Amino acid sequence: MDSYSVAAWFELLAFGAFVGAGGQGTRMIVGLKKLSDAASAASETRSAADLIIPSQLLVSLAIGAIAGGIAAVSTIIPASDLKISGEEVAGLAAAGYAGADFIEGFMSRAKAAPGAPAGQEAVGTGGPAAPAPAADDGAVG
Protein backbone atom coordinates (compact mmCIF):
# COMPACT_ATOMS: atom_id res chain seq x y z
CA MET A 1 0.00 0.00 0.00
CA ASP A 2 1.35 3.40 -0.94
CA SER A 3 1.66 6.15 1.61
CA TYR A 4 1.13 9.82 0.90
CA SER A 5 2.10 13.00 2.66
CA VAL A 6 -0.20 14.67 5.16
CA ALA A 7 -0.16 17.78 2.98
CA ALA A 8 -1.50 15.79 0.02
CA TRP A 9 -4.33 14.36 2.15
CA PHE A 10 -5.26 17.79 3.53
CA GLU A 11 -5.15 19.30 0.06
CA LEU A 12 -7.50 16.59 -1.19
CA LEU A 13 -9.78 16.92 1.84
CA ALA A 14 -9.98 20.71 1.51
CA PHE A 15 -10.69 20.48 -2.21
CA GLY A 16 -13.41 17.88 -1.63
CA ALA A 17 -14.96 20.00 1.13
CA PHE A 18 -14.95 23.08 -1.10
CA VAL A 19 -16.55 21.27 -4.05
CA GLY A 20 -19.03 19.47 -1.76
CA ALA A 21 -20.12 22.79 -0.28
CA GLY A 22 -20.55 24.06 -3.83
CA GLY A 23 -22.80 21.12 -4.64
CA GLN A 24 -24.82 21.85 -1.53
CA GLY A 25 -24.94 25.52 -2.56
CA THR A 26 -26.63 24.42 -5.77
CA ARG A 27 -29.20 22.53 -3.73
CA MET A 28 -29.72 25.61 -1.54
CA ILE A 29 -30.40 27.80 -4.57
CA VAL A 30 -33.14 25.41 -5.69
CA GLY A 31 -34.59 25.38 -2.16
CA LEU A 32 -34.50 29.17 -1.90
CA LYS A 33 -36.32 29.46 -5.23
CA LYS A 34 -39.02 27.07 -4.01
CA LEU A 35 -39.29 29.04 -0.76
CA SER A 36 -39.63 32.29 -2.67
CA ASP A 37 -42.35 30.83 -4.90
CA ALA A 38 -44.23 29.47 -1.88
CA ALA A 39 -43.99 32.79 -0.02
CA SER A 40 -45.30 34.75 -3.00
CA ALA A 41 -48.16 32.29 -3.55
CA ALA A 42 -49.23 32.42 0.11
CA SER A 43 -51.67 35.08 1.21
CA GLU A 44 -49.39 36.06 4.11
CA THR A 45 -47.60 39.39 4.17
CA ARG A 46 -44.25 37.80 5.08
CA SER A 47 -41.54 37.82 2.46
CA ALA A 48 -39.20 34.98 1.57
CA ALA A 49 -36.41 36.76 3.46
CA ASP A 50 -38.45 36.45 6.66
CA LEU A 51 -38.62 32.67 6.20
CA ILE A 52 -34.88 32.11 5.66
CA ILE A 53 -32.95 30.87 8.70
CA PRO A 54 -29.25 31.71 8.19
CA SER A 55 -28.03 29.15 10.74
CA GLN A 56 -29.75 26.36 8.79
CA LEU A 57 -28.05 27.55 5.61
CA LEU A 58 -24.64 27.43 7.28
CA VAL A 59 -25.26 23.98 8.76
CA SER A 60 -26.42 22.80 5.35
CA LEU A 61 -23.22 24.08 3.72
CA ALA A 62 -21.14 22.42 6.43
CA ILE A 63 -22.89 19.10 5.85
CA GLY A 64 -22.21 19.40 2.11
CA ALA A 65 -18.55 20.17 2.83
CA ILE A 66 -18.24 17.15 5.10
CA ALA A 67 -19.88 14.88 2.54
CA GLY A 68 -17.59 16.21 -0.21
CA GLY A 69 -14.49 15.80 1.95
CA ILE A 70 -15.37 12.23 2.87
CA ALA A 71 -16.08 11.40 -0.77
CA ALA A 72 -12.75 12.91 -1.83
CA VAL A 73 -10.56 11.01 0.61
CA SER A 74 -12.42 7.76 0.03
CA THR A 75 -12.44 7.80 -3.78
CA ILE A 76 -9.43 9.79 -4.99
CA ILE A 77 -5.81 8.81 -4.45
CA PRO A 78 -3.71 11.83 -3.45
CA ALA A 79 -0.38 12.56 -5.09
CA SER A 80 2.19 15.31 -5.03
CA ASP A 81 0.84 16.57 -8.36
CA LEU A 82 -2.85 16.16 -7.59
CA LYS A 83 -4.73 15.88 -10.87
CA ILE A 84 -8.49 15.45 -10.71
CA SER A 85 -10.71 14.85 -13.71
CA GLY A 86 -13.93 16.70 -14.43
CA GLU A 87 -15.91 13.58 -13.65
CA GLU A 88 -14.32 13.37 -10.21
CA VAL A 89 -15.13 17.04 -9.51
CA ALA A 90 -18.73 16.45 -10.58
CA GLY A 91 -18.82 13.39 -8.33
CA LEU A 92 -17.63 15.41 -5.35
CA ALA A 93 -20.26 18.09 -6.03
CA ALA A 94 -22.90 15.37 -6.30
CA ALA A 95 -21.68 13.90 -3.01
CA GLY A 96 -22.16 17.28 -1.33
CA TYR A 97 -25.61 17.64 -2.87
CA ALA A 98 -26.84 14.12 -2.19
CA GLY A 99 -25.00 13.64 1.11
CA ALA A 100 -26.57 16.72 2.63
CA ASP A 101 -29.97 15.69 1.28
CA PHE A 102 -29.60 12.24 2.84
CA ILE A 103 -28.40 13.49 6.24
CA GLU A 104 -31.01 16.26 6.50
CA GLY A 105 -33.76 13.83 5.49
CA PHE A 106 -32.58 11.35 8.09
CA MET A 107 -32.39 14.00 10.81
CA SER A 108 -35.86 15.34 10.04
CA ARG A 109 -37.24 11.87 10.85
CA ALA A 110 -35.39 11.61 14.18
CA LYS A 111 -37.03 14.23 16.36
CA ALA A 112 -36.59 14.93 20.02
CA ALA A 113 -39.17 13.19 22.15
CA PRO A 114 -41.87 15.65 23.19
CA GLY A 115 -41.42 16.87 26.75
CA ALA A 116 -38.29 14.80 27.37
CA PRO A 117 -35.72 16.39 29.66
CA ALA A 118 -32.31 17.07 28.18
CA GLY A 119 -30.21 13.91 28.03
CA GLN A 120 -33.12 11.53 28.56
CA GLU A 121 -34.83 10.09 25.52
CA ALA A 122 -33.23 12.85 23.50
CA VAL A 123 -34.09 11.18 20.22
CA GLY A 124 -37.46 9.65 19.55
CA THR A 125 -39.58 8.79 16.58
CA GLY A 126 -42.12 11.51 17.20
CA GLY A 127 -44.73 8.98 18.35
CA PRO A 128 -46.59 9.09 21.65
CA ALA A 129 -44.56 8.60 24.81
CA ALA A 130 -44.84 5.29 26.66
CA PRO A 131 -47.08 5.43 29.73
CA ALA A 132 -45.34 5.72 33.08
CA PRO A 133 -45.43 2.59 35.27
CA ALA A 134 -47.90 2.58 38.11
CA ALA A 135 -46.57 3.53 41.55
CA ASP A 136 -47.61 0.19 43.07
CA ASP A 137 -47.83 -2.51 40.44
CA GLY A 138 -47.78 -5.40 42.93
CA ALA A 139 -44.33 -6.60 41.89
CA VAL A 140 -42.09 -8.12 44.50
CA GLY A 141 -38.79 -6.39 45.14
Rounded alpha-carbon distances, angstroms, from residue 114 to 56, 122, 127, 136: 22, 9, 9, 26
Give the number of residues written for the chain.
141
* pLDDT at 88 (0 to 100): 85
The 10s digit of each residue's pLDDT in 31-66 is 888 888 877 777 666 777 777 888 888 988 899 999
Rounded alpha-carbon distances, angstroms, from residue 46 to 30, 97, 134: 20, 29, 48
